Amino acid sequence: MDTGKKGLFITFEGADGCGKTTQINLLNEYLKNKNFETIITLEPGGSDIGKQLRQILLHHDGFVSKRAEVFMYLADRAQHVDAVIKKGVEENKVVLCDRHIDSSVAYQGYARGGDIEQINLLNELATGGYKPDLTFVFDVDSTIAQQRVGETKDRLEKEGLEFHKKVRFGYLELAKKYPQRIKVIDANKTIEKVFEQVKKIIDEIL
Ligand code: TYD
């Protein structure tokens, strides 16, 4: 892990309904109590331009080309890295980011059937090679995750169980490929038990 630079960039990943947003908030409180300066941000939608892209990506009612979808997530990411993430890390902050590069690989790659190598390359271009220091993947049984999402679903949450099983598989493959960066958290457990796992990893780093 690169501890030589200022601040930290931590990403939170997992299928819809994995509970990562709750965990981000818990970690944020934990870090603030330890006197770290933090920023919570998200993709899509972590920048001003990103907010407009998020609206299209999650709520556009009509045909969205698979390629257009990929590029909109990437445009959001490029703007987010340059306008928000790097700046935060340079200001010595811990940037907690809800979804990032691995979402494109899991969703547009593994679940939608896009070419993984191409998506990796596009991610590289979008971020200028800037990488998270640490990534948590919240792994949860797909049926449980679907129940957690509830009735009000956005465009991607409306994809069925098979789609979300592929997303989950994709994340586990990514974790196997990048074991240094990506830590898998068993998110089938209670909120407290899940956070215990997060805390253990964070305490080892700080
Ligand atoms: P969001 O409401 O932020 O979902 P969650 O709370 O589950 O993170 O919506 C983000 C949606 O966009 C989510 O379904 C995953 C999807 N997504 C992609 O398909 N590709 C990407 O690159 C990113 C960042 C998100």
Domains in the chain (CATH in brackets) are: 8-205 (3.40.50.300)
CA distance 168 to 54: 22
Give the position of tokens 């899509």: 44
Nearest CA, atom 19, ligand 1? 107
The structure tokens listed for 191 are 């909120």
CA distance 80 to 51: 10
Asked if 80 and 46 count as a contact pair (C-beta separation under 8 A), the reply is yes
- Inter-axis angle of helices 66-80 and 116-127, nearest 10: 30
- Nearest atom within ligand 1 for CA of residue 107: 19
Tell me, letter by letter, the H, E, C secondary structure of 71-82: HHHHHHHHHHHH
Cα 53–Cα 41–Cα 77 angle in degrees, nearest 5: 45
The structure tokens listed for 182 are 């990506």
Mean pLDDT of 32-36: 96
Mean pLDDT of 181-199: 98
Mean pLDDT of 11-19: 95
Q: Is 75 in the pocket of ligand 1 (CB under 6 A)?
A: no
CA distance 19 to 145: 8
Residue 43 alpha carbon to ligand 1 centre in Å = 7
- At 23, phi and psi to the nearest 5? -70, -35
| pLDDT score, position 149 | 86
pLDDT in tens, 53-100: 999 999 999 999 999 999 999 999 999 999 999 999 999 999 999 999
- Indicate whether 179 pLDDT > 50: yes
Residue 99 alpha carbon to ligand 1 centre in Å = 7
**6 against 37, higher pLDDT:** 37
| pLDDT score, position 5 | 44
Cα 116–Cα 23–Cα 41 angle in degrees, nearest 5: 65
